[in-house]
Structure 1
Amino acid sequence: MTDELVKQLTLEEKVSLLAGQDFWSLPAIPRIGLRSLVMSDGPIGVRGTGWAPDDPSIALPSPTALAATWDPAMARTAGRLLGQESRRKGVHVLLGPTVNLQRTPLGGRHFECYSEDPLLSGEIAVGFVLGVQDHGVGTTVKHLVGNDFETERMTVDVRIGARALREVYLAPFERVVQAGGWGVMSAYNGVNGLSMASNGPLQSDVLKDEWGFDGVVVSDWRAARDTVGAALGGLDIAMPALENPWGDKLVAAVRSGEVAEELIDDKVRRVLRLAARVGALGAATEPYVEQLDGDSVAHDLAARSFVLARNEHYALPLEAAALTKIAVIGALATDARVLGGGSAQVTPPHVISPFEGLSRALPGVDVVHAVGADPRPFLPALPQPTEVTLLGAGHRFEVPAAAVRWIGDLPGAIAPAEVTGLELRTMFTPSESGEHTFAVSGFGSFELVVDGHNLYVGTLHPPGTGRADLLLSPREHRAIVELASGVPVEVVLRQIIQPGLAHTVSATLGHQGPGVSADGMIDEAVALARESDVAIVVVGTTEQVESEGFDRTSLALPGRQDELVVRVAAANPRTIVVVNAGSPVLLPWANDVAAIVLTWFPGQEAGAALADVLLGVQEPGGRLPTTWPRREQDCPIFAVQPRDGVVSYDEGVMIGYRAWDLTGVPPLYAFGHGLGYTTWTYETLAVTATEAVVTLTNTGARTGREIVQVYAGPSGEAPSGVGPRGVLPGRPQRWLAGFVPVTAHPGETVTVRIPLPERTWQVWDEGWHTVPGAYAITAAHALDDPRLTATLSL
């Protein structure tokens, strides 16, 4: 069918289908039955083409949390929910998931990637992609390839050897293609001297020709910069319309003979094939898929992802009947960070904080909050209903807190050209007399007026700052004003927007009331902890620490949170620390607290899921998808420092736990680590070249969930002659070969079969080659907790 449709199109029409007509969509051609294809950011929610305060988006836990479930079936459920959300919002293609590997814990989008292991990343991605596609919604697995850090990401050239590319970095992409994924997104960076948007050896030769990928390759936004290079290099869709290199330029390149029209036809066929798959070509269709309850999925996924890293003397679960007073401490206990910064952000319908979740779950218990230490460098948005006016257009709407942010379509479907500015207006009644701090953050020119007094007029960023830096690196200005308790004042924040640029907006009116000093806040928290049965301290990162657009500079918790934990633990031996971070942070006090629960960025149901886990209603089901270090200097791969625009992956295949094994330095928490509320005995292990069969028993008193992890590695001396070049560079000591989640009742014995793919035994050396010899196969609770080992000879 697509061949006949392509023949009906003019060259100009064909080329129009290969580039964005705006920020998020491709154009329609009604005479061939083609409707506009609409894309939207993911991967934890579906934002849609713009920001609509009356149409929020379900916010699931972060990708690191999804990988921490080690459950492809759960990933498919998450995908189905977002496919359902995509359909509801009129979205045909969800931009995700991200399968770049967690090469260094400093990676700014570490939270948006699944794992440091290619097998785990690939299997979770397959579950997610198939779930989204169950609804007839496409995905674009991203970012092909080597976008494992943010520093100089637009221009950096990543040098990766052929073996590491095949065995590690390309492996999750290949797995998704094998499973039938419909889309791939190419990265900003270059690989081995070629920009990825123009990288024919990888996008055409490997992805399309060798792997047989029949879907579309879409650029990351503004990653395509070379008209002919991108056309010849395997790219199919260049996004968005802004600064797009195709259009008339590509038409001219075809007419001049620089680009063959047959190549354009192939790209158009791929776009039409995608349109047919998502119901945007011909008669509109939508497959029937059972509808899911978003709150329920978000809650269950969060609980299953939480990793119980430490649980001394069975501090958890808590016994509700024995509690009279609980101290819930930390700024993030009431202002939960439920998602990471950058393109992964959505506006959820609600957020349940840890304090709110525990208060709801313990109606007869005195649940008291103290800030203790506040790591947030920016003041939080004034938490009260605020009227927003789009100046020039006159459109008004209300938001629950004084903050607005969007990329793409404007609220009310207002044209960007109509908008000259933005106004946030609210009446604020102080509950305390004294010095109140108001803050402006975002980008553009601002005017802040409180009670008729101008507190700020100016621009936060220097002239010439790029739009991406404006969006991903907001700045803040604070002003102090004396206010009286109970006396209402009008607060107005106006933002001037340059003509035609209202498609990208960020403005926040922050506020902080009179309060005690930083020392006083910690003293207050310590006093509360001392008089409580249990102290629950919530610590974590901020959007200025973990976000798209920049890499982290340190793994330390920001602010004085470490000091807070140490002092609270000294005051109350029953101190439970909840770590609200999307990626590894240092926990120097880990051995001094009763329990540690890692919650990642847990989505909109954060506090409800946390309460269930702490009280034993649900078991913390997560296992670490990445290694957590004891010290920064222990990390085998750490800093990201391009030299002359180049980052060389000299470690080859030795990343993640494979690299840790070489150093011999034990991390704080190993890959696969995670405790539960029951115990397991591994009874037997039998292995063939295609599967491992494990029998295990739940020997505890509670129904529980275990992740059976199977690792493989050379047993004794490995052969040296493999492949046409007769070389076998160092193989890892062990690598993840398979895994499966298991649930069993107390005393129940179960047997599971874990497939071992052919790649378990292969290396890349100008082709895939099986390495003969003896292998040690281990069934483990975690990488550092082996239970049974068998030997297999190939």
Structure 2
Amino acid sequence: MAGTRTPADEAREAVVEAALGKLDLDAKTRLLAGQDMWSLPALPEIGLRSLVMSDGPIGVRGVRWTADDPSVALPSPTALAAAWDPELAHRAGVLLAQEARRKGVHVLLAPTVNLHRSPLGGRHFEAYSEDPYLTGRIGTGYVTGVQEGGVGTTVKHFVANDAETDRFTVDNLISQRTLRELYLAPFEAIVENAHPWGIMTAYNRVNGTTMTEHRYLVKEILRGEWGFDGFNVSDWTAARSTTGAIEGGLDAAMPGPKTVYGDALAQAVRDGEVEEPTVDAAVRNVLRLAARVGILDGAEPVVAEAQLPSPVDGEALAREIARRSFVLVRNENDALPLKPNGTVALLGAAARDARVLGGGSAIVFPPHIVSPLDGLTAALPEGTLGYAVGADPNTELADADKGFELRAVCRDAAGQVIGTASAPSGQLRWMGADLPEGVIHDTLHTVELTGTFTPRDSGQHTFGIKGLGAFTLTVDGTTYYDDVQRPLKDDPFSSFFGAPEPRARVDLTAGTPVEVSLTYVVSFAENRSLKVIGFSLVHQEPQRDPDELIAEAVELARTAGAAVIVVATTERVESEGYDRTNLQLPGRQDDLVHAVAAVNPNTVVIVNSGSPVELPWRDEVAAVLLGWFPGQEGGAALADVLTGTHEPGGRLPTTWGSLTDAPVTQVVPDNGELPYTEGVFIGYRAWEKAARTPSYPFGHGLGYTDWTYDEIAADDTDGTSVTVRVTNSGARHGREVVQVYLAPADAPAETNTNTDTDPQRPARWLAGFAGVEAGPGESVEVIVKLPRRAFEIWDETANSWAVVKGSYEIQAGRSIADRRVATTINV
């Protein structure tokens, strides 16, 4: 199904075969094993340079985990999907390829195209949607853009890594129909339409087999049916068996140098456990990737230097994506945009200290962050904006950045300094050979984070440690902790994603600097494949009485023309490594909104989260704007939208509702197994089947103008397509996302059950969409093509796709719940 090879492809393939023929077994198996955290080894004998990979998906961190090496930070993947614009995703990919080249990166470990199966998934901010079609369209745009920039992608996590609980071992039990129609569907669409150069296989098992060894899904479906010819890399530390992985179709085992490949794989061949041609197939895939990105001598890269896209302004694109992603879900009495020259009370700790990205491997370090307070201060007339904290969602310590000036000092066992490095965020992540100049692991004994802290508030400050091992913490000359922090569970990333531990409480005076020091005694677990030094100095400002903070905010809001409250989740709520236990906003933020809404009828709430949260006050406020994790320019984009210079352009890529009403919530395995008993009914499909009304339905989103849907007409002469005419019936220019849903005309929507010859299907599903723009009073027509797959199901008996014949209603509208025009066709 993948694209036909061109003469250029054939030429690269000839170079690959020639290079492969020059390698002995040891060189081949060495190439398949990571040499460190982020790269595969160079093989000078065939002119192969080292292949470098980097985490995404909103930026390119590169091989160094430090704020000293900043990266453009785009809005979260849920935000990108909320724009419902594959071309915008394409432009994001072009920018990220530009960033990758700047950092010497050949392959971006992105995008994540797992689905929002349950709202409790802790990493959903890193995936696009609950809908496989929307996910595939956005992912296709993203992959195409990155690879047009000459950089590879690894579409991940193949497959069904839809939650974080026990992600290393969970066995997800999924029917073949459910796999095909939902979880494999985005990968299939991207392979067919974007031809990605890489796939990353997940930690979890599917129907009894771990994904790094899943011969059926990788070799028979991904490579066999779909024709994927890229390389298959493991998620980090996911590969567990030498013979199982190579026979299952895994090409590269990361990270290194200690992996199941390398020497272990060479020995397996010599022992007769693995055939050398099986190794050759994996090496061929890696060499093909190297040829495509231009690091194999004699092979022309897919994108030559002269063909690279024009440079992209990262700040401008980050700002555009953010405002295009904001979803206005409520706007009573035209509360937004804000009235010119009115006074505004800006409230919420997240308005001052913005959370612009999710936690875990998605973290990058932007060169700057524009907070909502920054953005509105710049946009509003002087003297019209007031600010109060109101409520702080951060109930635990965060990395020591604001007010800290720190450096890392490396010492040997005798206490002699052997190297230094800056530590601008209070966070150290040194992986493999990524050490300060002159420092080697064999002589490194301690690392000290040392410097000064100048508090911005007086009171009791809390200091702590995030990491595992022996630490000594000293503040202002007093040692508060000298002991060992141990893991709560056996998770190789627990030092990165685990909770910070408070270890010192010190009374300090605003503006008066104090000395701080955190010393770590270096140790490496014998069973770890990579030497990693990862820990953080963490800090929390004085905690004032929550009722007092809310009272201050209420008084500021009482006399303001409008109150704008920014509420947010935290890294402890949404991050890689764990799932959510509820959908509530942390801290006293709900209480703040209730109190302010009671005194100011023009209360506007900005929800700063990567995925759904409950909004118990949504009917009490004038407007609700979902801002996702908006990236480094989020505050500037927010000011654009609130002041009305730009329209909020987003539509919901996933359903928002309460946990009590959510139809699919189980993410915790039972005896290691997690059955996907809901089958094809997740997201809006499940909400409709259960006849439950969410807070805000899939596809919902308001703008600053109104739209009338005039008519719809179907045409099946050249594949099925529909033409929809809409009119901008409002007073200003705007953009509309025309959404097309397909509904079996004779299916009872209440139960979604049909006869034996017409299998159980959702009441309707997304089959196409398109964005249109128009001025006031202007009518426009848009043609939306409906893919053949929209009319098919996976027939488990025949083990193939089958068109379900019958009558279908094609419905077009503004959301799954706001369908305006319809027509009927027979298939």
TM-score by length of 2: 0.92
Counterpart residue number, 1:761: 791
Of residues 631, 647, 666, the one that matches 1:639 is: 666
Q: Deviations over 1:188-226 (max 9, x none)?
A: 011111111000010000011111111111110111101
> Counterpart of 2:536 in 1: which secondary structure?
strand
* Closer/same/farther in 2, CA of residues 236 and 483 from structure 1, 3 Å limit: closer
Query: Quick one: which amino acid aligns to residue 603 of structure 2?
Result: T
Q: Is the 8 A contact 1:402 1:510 kept in 2?
A: no
Deviates more, 1:250-259 or 1:152-161: 250-259
Kept in 2, the 8 Å contact 1:155–1:188? The answer is: yes
1:16 is aligned to 2:46 = no
What is the match of residue 335 of structure 1?
353
Matched, 1:213 2:256: no
Residue 473 of structure 2 corresponds to 448
Name stretches of at least 5 consecutive residues in structure 2 with no aligned partner: 1-13, 412-416, 749-754
How many angstroms does 1:80 deviate by?
Answer: 0.7
Paired residues of 2:348 and 2:392 also in contact (CA < 8 A): yes
Distance 2:553 2:465 in 1: 29
> Which of 127, 150, 160 is residue 146 of structure 1 equivalent to?
160
Residue pairs, 1:69-148, within 5 angstroms: 69-148=83-162
Match of 1:533 in 2: 561
> How far apart are residue 726 of structure 1 and its match?
7.2
Q: Which of 283, 291, 315 is the matching residue for 2:335? A: 315
One-letter code aligned to 2:332: E
Gap change, CA 1:114 and 1:409, over 3 Å in 2: farther
Q: 1:558 to 1:242 in 2, by over 3 A?
A: farther
Return closer, same or farther for 1:420/1:728 CA change in 2, 3 Å cut-off.
farther
Question: Structure 1 residues 680 and 108, CA, compared in 2 at 3 Å: closer, same or farther?
Answer: same
CA contact (8 A) 2:655 2:694 kept: yes
Q: 1:162, 1:360 → 2: CA distance?
A: 54
- Shift in Å at residue 428 of structure 1? 3.6
Question: Are residue 662 (structure 1) and residue 676 (structure 2) matched?
Answer: no
Q: CA deviation at 1:436?
A: 3.5
1:31 equivalent in structure 2:
45
8 Å Cα contact 1:49/1:408 also seen in 2: no
2:7 corresponds to which residue?
A: none
Between the aligned residues of both structures, percent identity stands at 53
CA distance in 2, matches of 1:4, 1:255: 23
Q: How far did 1:403 drift?
A: 3.7
CA distance in 2: counterparts of 1:326 and 1:247, whole angstroms: 62
What is the CA-CA distance between 1:667 and the residue it aligns to? 0.5
| Equivalent runs, 1:4-403 vs 2, <5 Å | 4-179=18-193, 180-241=195-256, 243-282=258-297, 285-286=304-305, 287-321=307-341, 323=342, 325-380=343-398, 381-392=400-411, 394-403=418-427
Partner letter of residue 98 of structure 1? T
Kept in 1, the 8 Å contact 2:171–2:207? The answer is yes
Taking the aligned partners of 1:93 and 1:25, their CA distance within structure 2 comes to: 10
Distance 1:237 1:653 in 2: 32
Instruction: Note if 1:570 corresponds to 2:587.
Output: no
Alignment of 1:393-542 (within 5 A): 394-405=418-429, 407=431, 410=434, 412=436, 414-430=439-455, 434-462=459-487, 466-484=491-509, 487-498=512-523, 503-513=532-542, 516-542=544-570
Once residues 348 and 747 of structure 2 are traced to their aligned partners in structure 1, the CA distance between those partners, rounded to angstroms, is 52
Q: In structure 2, how many angstroms separate the alpha carbons of the residues matched to 1:740 and 1:693? A: 11
Summarize deviations over 1:306-344 as a string: whole Å, max 9, x none. Answer: 0001000000001232x1x32111111111111111110
Of the three residues 763, 766, 778, the one matched with 1:748 is 778
The reply to whether residue 785 of structure 1 matches residue 815 of structure 2 is: no
* Letter aligned with residue 512 of structure 1: E
- In 2, Cα distance between the equivalents of 1:465 and 1:210? 38
For residues 450 and 614 of structure 1, the distance between their equivalents in structure 2, rounded to whole angstroms, comes to: 43
SS at match of 2:136: helix
CA–CA separation in structure 1 for the residues paired with 2:573 and 2:149: 35
Q: Is the deviation greater in 138-147 or in 504-513?
A: 504-513
Distance 1:623 1:415, change over 3 A: farther
| Change over 3 Å in CA distance of 1:339–1:422 after alignment to 2 | same
Deviation at 1:491, TM superposition (A): 2.0
Paired with 1:103 and 1:485, the residues of 2 have a C-alpha distance of 47
Contact 1:25 1:38 in 2 (8 A): yes
Q: 1:697 to 1:175 in 2, by over 3 A?
A: same
Q: CA deviation at 1:434?
A: 4.4
Which of 730, 736, 739 is the equivalent residue of 2:769? 739
* 8 Å Cα contact 2:315-2:633 kept in structure 1: yes
Distance 1:579 1:463 in 2: 32
2:702 aligns to what?
675
Quote how far apart the aligned CAs of 1:52 are: 4.0
Conserved 8 A contact 1:688-1:792? no
Q: Report the CA distance shift for 1:537/1:477 in structure 2 as closer, same or farther (over 3 A).
A: same
Contact 1:94/1:139, CA 8 A, preserved across alignment = yes
Residues 14-44 of structure 1 show CA distances to partners (whole Å, capped at 9, x for unaligned) of: 1111111111111111121111100111001
Show the counterpart of 1:605.
633
Task: Say if 2:807 is the partner of 1:774.
Answer: yes
TM-score normalised by the chain length of structure 1: 0.96
How far apart are residue 79 of structure 1 and its match?
0.6
| Aligned equivalents of 1:202, 1:485: Cα separation in 2 | 59
Deviation at 1:409, TM superposition (A): 5.4
Distance in 2 between residues matched to 1:331 and 1:303, nearest whole Å: 21
Distance 2:665 2:249 in 1: 32
Contact 1:714 1:776 (8 Å CA) reproduced: yes
Shift of 1:687: 1.3
AA aligned to 1:755 is: K
Where 1:697 maps in the other structure, the secondary structure is strand
**C-alpha displacement at 1:433, in angstroms?**
5.2
Look up the equivalent residue of 2:374 and give its one-letter code.
E
For residue 489 of structure 1, report the CA deviation from its aligned partner: 2.6
CA distance in 1, matches of 2:522, 2:490: 14
Kept in 2, the 8 Å contact 1:254–1:260? The answer is yes
Give a deviation string over 1:253-295, Cα, whole Å, max 9, x none.
Answer: 2122221111111111111111011111115753421110110
SS at match of 1:633: coil
Superposed displacement of residue 304, structure 1: 0.3
Paired AA for residue 763 in structure 1: I
User: Which stretch of the first structure deviates more once superposed, 388-397 or 190-199?
Assistant: 388-397
Q: Distance in 2 between matches of 1:9 and 1:69?
A: 48
The number of residues matched between the two structures is 784
Q: Letter of the aligned partner of 1:331 in structure 2?
A: A
RMSD, aligned α-carbons = 1.9
Contact kept? 1:416, 1:503, Cα under 8 Å: no
Q: Which residue of 1 aligns with 2:739?
A: 709
Counterparts of 1:678-689 in structure 2 under 5 Å?
678-689=705-716
Shift of 1:432: 5.7
Structure-1 separation of matches of 2:728 and 2:445 = 64
CA contact (8 A) 1:75 1:124 kept: yes
SS of alignment partner, residue 320 of structure 1: coil
| Letter of the 1:183 counterpart | G
1:590-629 Cα deviation digits (max 9, x unpaired): 0000100101111000100001010111111000000001
- Which segments of 5 or more consecutive residues in structure 1 lack a partner in the other structure? 719-724
